[in-house]
Structure 1
């Protein structure tokens, strides 16, 4: 009798396992189908996918209440390119302590490896801490199902003690180095005080606004019209930032397909620090 019960239980477990595997396969097939439909629905080159096969995503601005201030007297002669949001610079030479809310060790190690590429050109240091209370930057991966990529800018993180200050929506242990470069360098650029390059006061992009609204107000972003305005069109005011010449190669620049502009202007997606990024951040945090 006991043997018969064990056989029945084993069969039940096997059936349950097969059902779960089938459900997962079905969900994956449905996801691929949805991705294909999404790609097909986008006009022209807008159906291009990111390096990991997911729909291209962009970082969302986190709004700051910092009072704009000048970074310092020695910063007036910055010769590199870039945009640094005033009032959000960390003390020069600071060691920034990074706390991970979740994520496996491989993912954490990869994030730190790419974050430290900024430290190769700036007088800053990044270390991991297990103490959330003492941390400066608090990183999460898809926390509460958040697929977005974002970071508070520089010292604005101090206004959110104990809270998450950075999110990566689709990085995992299988993500490529290109994906890590694309997302981590950009978000840690924000974390050390840099704003979006396409919002530079010196950027004169001739946007095709209806096309931009159509794209970003649809999936996967689903932004409101106001969010499109703030993230794409509303340039920083000169008094809000420290900036020099506009750099389309900056890691802090959005990807712009030519369908988004009226004069065929475009900016390719990028996963590397530009030469001007390196020069600019060294001037902001001199060693």
Structure 2
């Protein structure tokens, strides 16, 4: 893995904790499309990320590693190809493509869905980076793989799902929020309520979460608890962003005191916030051609080992 031009920003620890991003209607959807080998590979990444978090908790130096650490799951390419599985209307494909493009503003990143009116259909022989399905049932809901982990999913399987959006003519405001949220995951963002800069875990009514979401305790903890990175040190962690497109809108019962909970929002955000935008622009910064003076610092080899293992798993 190269120490190159991704700016040192870590969307409240992109590489910390398992990179399964689910939304309330579609928690287990992406697990259902994975085979045992793919699950095992993702568990390897989880193990390396756990080692990184443990080292950081002990005060391990991050000097010289910024370019790697914030790109553990960030795509190391400028154009992400995307396709749609058969059965979805061209109008729905156009609507999704149009909304998703909002993430690329001011970045070097672009999405290639194919030409308008003839959006690309998924072909396992020529797999796209992001493969969009509209499944229901046990694979349904709204979900996405996080960042470059999509590369680990078999070519015949989706990396993103939008149940019920396959025939829309245009995206409603609510659907716009759903699309932006999932594409935020696709470029590397995790959920805002899990931010190391937030106190959502202290505001949650955990009895409610464990009994009312219909998930196992392990799954609730995985999707709702604060990420485990124990220090920010030289990393950039933004203040908690209540306007983030990545913040869940949960029932009032999910909070101990919803009227005074900063993490409670009465309705789902449908627009990319200013902080979301700034982080995307940092993570996928447009190269300015400037070369820093002096030799690069020597990286911490203790942290470099698990980071390089993640890079090897992702094929980078």
Both structures adopt the same fold (TM-score exceeding 0.5): yes
Aligned length: 218
Structure with more of its chain in helix, by fraction: 1
Give ranges in structure 2 of 5+ residues lacking alignment: 1-22, 31-38, 53-61, 114-119, 287-316
Partner of 1:194: 189
In 2, Cα distance between equivalents of 1:75 and 1:262: 39
What does 1:71-150 correspond to in 2, within 5 Å? 87-91=72-76, 94-102=78-86, 103-128=88-113, 129-130=120-121, 131-132=123-124, 133-142=126-135, 146-150=139-143
In 2, Cα distance between equivalents of 1:145 and 1:259: 26
Matched, 1:284 2:283: yes
**Which of 176, 183, 190 pairs up with 1:181?**
176
Give ranges in structure 1 of 5+ residues lacking alignment: 1-55, 77-83, 218-222
In 1, Cα distance between equivalents of 2:135 and 2:176: 18
Query: What is the alpha-carbon root mean square deviation over aligned residues?
Result: 3.1
Question: CA offsets per residue over residues 125-145 of structure 1, 9 Å max, x none?
Answer: 111244442411111001566
- CA separation of 1:273 and 1:236: change in aligned 2, threshold 3 A: farther
CA positional deviation for 1:75: 7.0
TM-score (norm 2): 0.61
- CA separation of 1:110 and 1:195: change in aligned 2, threshold 3 A: same
Between Structure 1 and Structure 2, whose CA radius of gyration is higher? 1
Partner of 1:235: 227
In 2, Cα distance between equivalents of 1:159 and 1:146: 18
SS in 2 for 1:243: coil
TM-score (norm 1): 0.66
